[in-house]
Amino acid sequence: MRIGCVLVWIQRKESIGRHGKLFPISEVQHRVLSDGISMRRYVAEDQLPAASGGKAPQIDQAEWVEFQKEVESLLSACQKAGRRLVDAMWELRGEESGTPSGSVVGVSGISTPSDNGQDRRRRRRRRRHLQAQHRLVTKALSDATLARLRRDGPAALCRIEEMARLLSDSEDVRCGVGRVRMLFAEVSRAARRLEQLGERRRERLRALARLRALQ
């Protein structure tokens, strides 16, 4: 998470000097605020806790921080795995556009020469092409990040939803849950789609192998 600016709430102006230099290591940009009017310039009143002059219900800050950590971790894994799946899809599409010409695809998925002859060289090219596509799909689906996400993601999402129930009054918590649900579902759908594409290529390779065995 990249932090652009930190708001520091100190109720009494005379106590500001006692805190010395804030954030001496990171030197992150920050604003020191000491009254509700100043705070409302940056945060909506319904998002401010009562102690800071707002109307938002009080929430456990430690639980909120833990919730955000869980959300950021799962979002990061989803984004990383999603990018790799998209790359694989594009590469597979490029492979499809390079399908050997001069043949037509039958119902079984086997490329049959348009003149019905036994063109072995053409079939070998087709077989190598399918094998390359299958390796591409297998490599994408065996990616370590994707494998961990598919194994641990459902449990992580359940933890996030359980934590969110304890922080249900927080608008950003509700938004965080919605975002992580959507992204995890998108990655899951993309992975299943890639599995289906891989299975189709395996079936075509098996069909080619059966045809070859009959010759």
pLDDT digits (tens, 9 = 90+) for 130-173: 777 778 888 888 889 999 999 999 999 999 999 998 887 778 88
What long-range pairs does 100-104 form, CB within 8 A, spacing at least 24? 100/125, 100/126, 100/129
Residue 14 shares a structural domain with residue 100 = no
Query: Whose CA is closest to 194, among 147, 130, 141?
Result: 141
Pairwise CA distance, residues 126 & 131, whole Å: 9
As a whole-number percent, the residues of the chain with pLDDT over 90 amount to 27
Residue 126 shares a structural domain with residue 199 = yes
Q: Which residue has the higher pLDDT, 148 or 204?
A: 148
Domains in the chain, number: 2
Pairwise CA distance, residues 130 & 136, whole Å: 10
- In angstroms, the Cα distances linking 195 to 54, 93, 191 are 51, 15, 6
Residue 100 shares a structural domain with residue 123 = yes
Q: By residue range, what is the domain housing residue 17?
A: 1-58
What was the pLDDT predicted at 185? 96
What was the pLDDT predicted at 109? 47
Residue 75 shares a structural domain with residue 22 = no
Domain ends where: 58, 76, 101?
58
- What is this structure's pTM? 0.63
